[in-house]
Structure 1
Amino acid sequence: MIASKPLSNAPLDPSVVIPTKSPLNTSINKVSPVLTSTNFNNITPLAAGAKSTFTYPYTSAPEAFFGQNIFFSATIKAADGKGNPTGTVSLFDGDKQLGDPAKLNSDGTATFNIANLTIGTHMIKQAYSGDDTFATSNNTFPEIVNPARTNITINSSTTNPATVGQNITFTNKVNAIDAGAGTPTGAVTFYDGNNKLQDVTLDNQGVATFTTTLGVGKHNIREVYTGVGNFQSSETALDQTINNPLSGIKFDNAISANPVVVGQAVTFTSTITATDPNLGKPTGKVSFYDGDTLLKDVDLQDGVATYSTTLGLGTHSIKEIYSGDNNFASVTTDPIVETINKDSAKITTTALPDTSNPTSIILKTTVAGNAGVANPTGVVSFFEGDKKLGEANLDQGVASLKINLTPGKHTITEVYAGDNSFNTANGTLDATINANNAAITTTSSAATSTYGQNITFISTVTPGTTGISTPTGKVNFFDGDTLLSEGTLDAKGVASFTTNKLSTGKRNIKAVYAGDNNFLTITSTPLNETINPISTVITATTSNPTAIAGRNILFTSTVTNNSNSAGNPTGTVTLFDGTNKLGTADLKNGIATFNIANLGVGKHNITQTYTSSDGNFNNSTSAAIGETVVQGVFNIENYLNLLVDKGSNLIDLLFDEKYYLANNADVAAAVAKGQVKSGLDHFLKYGEAEGRDPSIIFSNSLYLIENPDVATAVNKKQFNSGLDHFQKNGLYERRDLRMLNFDEGWYLASNPDVKAAVDKGQYRYGYEHYLKFGQQEGRNPSPDFDEAYYLANNPDVKAAVAQGTYQSGFEHFAVTGRSEGRGGVAPIPA
């Protein structure tokens, strides 16, 4: 056996609970812990910063038997007593791991159940894995396994008593006490006293059978299992009687009552007399059996044996066996069938008041048998109609149950389910429950608030009478007759409701308690709650602050409020140009949009006014935004008007520095050499007189072709150039203006349908067709500009054309794209 004291000097942890799970409690032992430290052998060195630990091992049976289930546990404790180690513990038999690692529970303990250790001494090691905080530790201790204990559970003979010469078969079954050890093998030796009768080998069930005859008298038959391998020896004995049938007997048996009820005693009487009175009275004993089960051996007194007992429910085959003596043979009677019935039960119930709650009662039900010989057991169930109220177990025939009932009259049915000894039984009880009044108060977190602001209403329901339980159940909150929310009372009788959805105006808030099994319903005094509208802000934007006449302009109105919880304002927005109403649109998710195409040329003061639809939001008006509408560039008449508006700064609109230098290499070289300051400087000093074009917008040669009188005047030196005439007279005379990038001959050659229309006089020239239709149809104005290429490579321009901001990609190119450096045609591959 392992000593019950620690195996080392390390301190035992007094907090470790030692389970008592072994049948050999005297062997329960707590083994010494191991501290992770360099002072101990076979201990893993501490990791940097890791905390030392103790391993407290435990075995339920330090000295066990083969096949016995052994409970091992390991408790891991921090050496400084601080913190709770986690991780796993592995169990080893020497170097062999036993099972999977076990995870530490919340107490730092890992457990193992092992039943397969072989006979001998085992060095058991428990190894803790460590974790992020705690170091590993282990402990090793001996575990002794002895051969399995055995017993002989069947020890019988076929006939006892028997007569001389009668064969008797003795049967023994040898079992291992610990089920895990398996079935014993080897042999059983049969003895009559100390006289050896026979060695018999156990079969595969552990059974040995031996048949023989014995002489008259009593024989002490011993069966000795010698033990083999993993099993210990064991021994048992029985007394066998052999009679000499010298004379016959008369065997009378009687029973006191049949049938009887469970718990009622019955008396069996056996009277044995000799058929030859001269032989005297038989002696010995009578054995009473219920089937094959021995009830009692009773010695004959003056030839009579009496046995009283109680029997279980059902039928019983009672037989009586006289053992015989030296003068009289053994005799067995024919069985008597004794019937044991269930006893009928009677049930009575009373209702007792519950002093802690007037609406509770305590039902006390007593169930008794009519024979009065035992207390019924089992369960009593309580019902009201088909509704089960609860159930209670009988204790000494009494079951009690506390129930809560609603106010009013109730008929309670008690149902006893019966048990092995008693039949079922029913009973009824009428009970009247009086309800309690409740009180309710309701408060608001803010009597006046703004729409969208959170308001919390709190209702407290208390008993109308002190000393009883707190009301439970539902509290419903109403705004007038409109249900706002359903609340549930907490353990203190309080229900709350928070909302930000109350409409503006005067609100009438009340709380209605629905009552429960103990309390009546009640409505609170209404609260007057004022909800004011929330302020709004309207923000107006335009898709194009400077738009071309006749094109759609998208105005967007965004209406917001001062609280995210109030949601999006609803209602309408009205768009104004000054005082002129342009239209009204509904808000969708706080946004309204307008597509306006009928604003006249000039500057416009645009405002937007929000009107609430539900009164929860205040109306508001946006700040004014400026919108300028100009005529389309390619409308000659309108473009001329635009040029007139430029006045003395006309050259700023007509001259393009980049274009001028790109199309006049000699000028670009002169600028690079510093001979002139810029292209504009050269144009004003020389280029205009030389007939050079200032930009893509104005073609001097085309202007002179279209205006022969101007060409004559220039030849006469009345004007320096066509541009000089255009600035001084032509602009105000509304003379035609041609774009340099438009190639009339190429356009007609590339568009035969247009040439045919010009030939018929439908258009004066191809340029007129391009201005009115060609650009919208995507036709190219010259080989120097590709409409499809320009739109494909400039998605922003394509979107602007789709929205109607520009009539074509060429219009954008002429107005801004050229100056932005955008290419009009695909570059020539290198």
Structure 2
Amino acid sequence: MTGKTTRRLTAAAGVAALSVTLVGAFGTGSAGADPASLTWTDGASKFTRTVSNSTPNEGDTVTVSTKFERTNGVGEYIYAVKDVHPACLTYVDGSAKVNGTARQLESQGSDFARVQGTVVEWPVGALAGGKPHTFEFSYRVGADCARGVALPTTMHYSGSLGDGTYSDKGPAVTVSKNVSSTSLAAVSGAQVGKSLTLSATVTGGAQGDPVDFYDGTAKIGSGALNGSGVATFAWTPSTAGARSVKAKFAGTAFANGSESAVQSVQVAEADVVTTTTLQVPPTAFTGTPVKLSATVAPNSVSGTVQFRDGNTNIGAPVAVSNGVADLSYTFTTAGSHPITAVFTGAGFVSSTSAPATVSVTVPDRATTTTLTAPSSAKTGASVTLSASVSPTPAGGTVQFKDGVTALGAPVAIVNGTATLEHTFTSVGSHSVTATYSGAAGFEPSTSSAGSMSVTDPVVTPRGTVTMLSVPGEAKTGAATDLWVTVRTSAGDPVSGGTVQFRDGGADLGAPVAVNNGVTRVSHTFTAVGAHSISAAYSGVPALDGSTAVARIVNVTAPASTDADTATALTVPASATAGSNVKLWASVVASGAVSGTVQFFDGDTPIGEAVALVDGAATLDHAFASSGIHRITAVYSGAAGLKGSSSDVRTIDITTTGTTPGGTPGTGSLAGLPFGS
């Protein structure tokens, strides 16, 4: 360079001489590294860039160095060097070096790292202390790097003779696909008609990647890898015999495929289906043994029968002989006893008989049960149900019922009385009874039914606020999302109720349900012009209805001459819950733009649509919940302009004020300061 000219090396011929050499070995590269180097000149400046591994794998560390030299007698001071790398590579903290000595970064971004010295610190050529200088930066290869694609690198610098900006000089870095391996967990216990979980572990894949399971050459199903690299599939064999089972990972754009070793799996025959029938006497007396008998088909079965009284086992399991199992049993309590018989046996499908009722009584004194209950009650409020039994029995319980439904568990009799605190949950007329179980020396009895009128307590509805989020512009024939947010006057999201969207006085379809404070309708306008969109929330018993302020949507007809647009979104990487952050979107086209931008948090609109001013829309918003929020901006389009959407940006919202990384928008590198 001469004087203070600014140099910019481009692809045009004649700007600078360039030579590229693939290096056969690189002293500090990792095992299996494929280093690459290139040299070019710009005037009397000579640059040599070296990449320690041009074909790295995910997770590898790549070191890029640039050597500065002068080829004539004019010296130059290097002020700053900016190393530009693919955005999927992450700078390794503390790795920057100048002539082998660690150097603190002056600045960095998602695709660059920059060091800066004093005006006389790095002389090159014919200057006092002038010598070649080497600038070194290390990066770690990220999982999001495209595979098999040449990813360019380059560098810019500023010096006493001007600035050098070099576009995509290289050497390029091509990330190799992950090497994968697939293993199938041992498969055992396979049987016709029974579900068996096949589990495959894949290294080198990513969460969500599919894994296919095969029986011989036939694909029997697929599963997706979880965060631990494991995929499962529930397999139900349909035929018995030997099977050859394996798992196959087909590979993706990021990883090569692999498959497991074949396992020989023996599928057993299905268990034999059985049926069990029960024979019991319809009545019995306490203290007198009765015969309970179960018959199991087919009569060749081998196993046992467990008799049960409700959910309680009666004695020990009884062995089945010639398809029959008998048990002599003595009831100790009076009342209705639902008896069942359950058969189990190896190689046979278990079966349970239909319940058979034995009515057990005591041939003793008759009793009278009297119910005391209020004539009315409120849902959610406890009431006292009381039953008295006369004459006073020595033991037994009272079962309160609402129609045929038991109210809680049976209540023990104390001094001839049983009480129950009960809360009704449904409105209407309830027929309540109390049934005494009977006891030794006392017969069971049931009270007359008492009618109770149960009503809901009076609830004062709360106010609601309905907010309409619609684009300022739309096209005929294209589906347009109309959003509504409904919150209580306290700011809580509403669930329940419906919203009716309207265009002028005409309903737009049927009412739509509100869930977690949000609902939407997708509407296609058929007529051009200004459409006044409104929305009315129906309310629910505890919440008042409300109506949103009407918004105008200017509808135009699409045309083949409509210009394409592009929407860019900028958000902060992180913020604290409850504090305002600024969301900024810009829309560009071949000419002036108008219309609105709607910001979204996931699928939920943030506030109302924001009108563009000089091609930009901004919105101040405070996030209430912590965690990662995925933000997008959707441009409505306008007359002569097509709509467009931004890429997704993430904001990490914390409750402690910490600022972990996110994905803020990045602008152009043009205009960044280099040198003096």
Decide which structure has greater helix share: 1
Query: Common fold, TM-score beyond 0.5?
Result: no
Higher relative contact order (CA 8 A, sep 6+): 2
Q: What TM-score range do you get, normalising by the shorter chain?
A: 0.3 to 0.5
Structure number, greater radius of gyration = 1
Normalising by the residue count of structure 1, what TM-score does the alignment of the two structures yield?
0.32
Normalising by the residue count of structure 2, what TM-score does the alignment of the two structures yield?
0.38
Decide which structure has greater strand share: 2
